[in-house]
Amino acid sequence: MHNPLPFQSAVMPEALQLNSPLQFHCHPGISCFNACCKRADITLAPYDVLRLKRRLGLTSTEFIRQFTVPFQMDGDGLPGIKLKTDDNGTCLQLAGDAGCGVYSDRPTVCRYYPLALLTLREKDSAIAEERYSLVKEDHCQGHNEQRELSIAEYRAEQHCDEFDAKNRDWYQLVLKKKSAGPAVGRPPQLSLQFFFMASYDGDTFRRFVLSDNFRNTYTLPAEFYTEIEQDDEALLEFSYRFLRQVLFGERTIQEMADAWEQRVTERQEVWEARRQIEIERRAAAEDEKYRADGNDDCGCAG
């Protein structure tokens, strides 16, 4: 079984299901209210970024720069991001005693607490299933509250379904990457850069997809470009198709006829142009050197 993302510490080993009971209640009157926000270690999924950047009125690029820190999700350098905290570990979105300042748009990890969402796949199985583990930390008093409900009821209460639906294909990508291991190998640096852009920096990814170079490479209808120019969710869904092609070579997006050959030809032309520039630069440098040597000789003879 595999857990593709690093979650909170203190995760109990038992894998729970939707009908498993959960004794927990967090509310403003509890003694530990906001304590978890002051010890924040929040990994962000793509839909989390989309919701938060819109909530804060930022581009995805601005949000990433101002409110996240990078980390590596695996030994191959697969890039992840976490919510930035202050020097004491407090989430920057905490609005004092009032609690979370972006509550209705809070990330998936925050919604699930005190549960960890696990994407699991048994060995030799092509089907990944979602399970849950209980997170128990000393500061959290919510476990002592006398309220019991099922995990399914808790998920509905926290509006997890929408976030899971938007992130699910991405979790599957990360799980497949981790499960494949040496069979896939370390992705090239360019693939890792594409992964970061398509997963988190949607506004930059949109410009990439709308570029002439992209349009000339892939056969996609005009209405597709109209949709993703205006619809963040449609763009996010397409990003998962794009990443399956980038990471695993799946032909999820049809390429133009001879697109590969054309790209090779264009690159060869660029390489040749660069080679000629370098030859001319070196020739000019040699000419300058000889002129300088000649000037020195004349000066010495005088």
What integer best gives the mean pLDDT of the chain? 86
Q: Of all residues in the chain, what percent carry a pLDDT higher than 70?
A: 81
Q: Identify how many contiguous H helices and E strands the chain contains and give both numbers.
A: 11, 6
The radius of gyration of the chain from alpha carbons, rounded to an integer in Å, stands at: 26
Position 288 pLDDT exceeds 80: no
pLDDT at 185: 63
Question: Does position 261 have pLDDT exceeding 70, yes or no?
Answer: no
Q: Quick one: pLDDT at residue 249? A: 87
Query: Whole-angstrom Cα distance, residue 76 to residue 188?
Result: 10
Among residues of the chain, what percentage have pLDDT more than 90? 66
Q: Which of 57-66, 111-120, 144-153, 157-166 comes out lowest in average pLDDT? A: 111-120
- pLDDT higher at 187 or 11: 187
* pLDDT at residue 87 in the model: 95
Is residue 173 within 8 A of residue 240, CB to CB? The reply is yes
Instruction: Quick: pLDDT tens for 87-122.
Output: 999 999 999 989 999 999 999 999 999 999 988 776
Q: Which residue has the higher pLDDT, 229 or 271?
A: 229
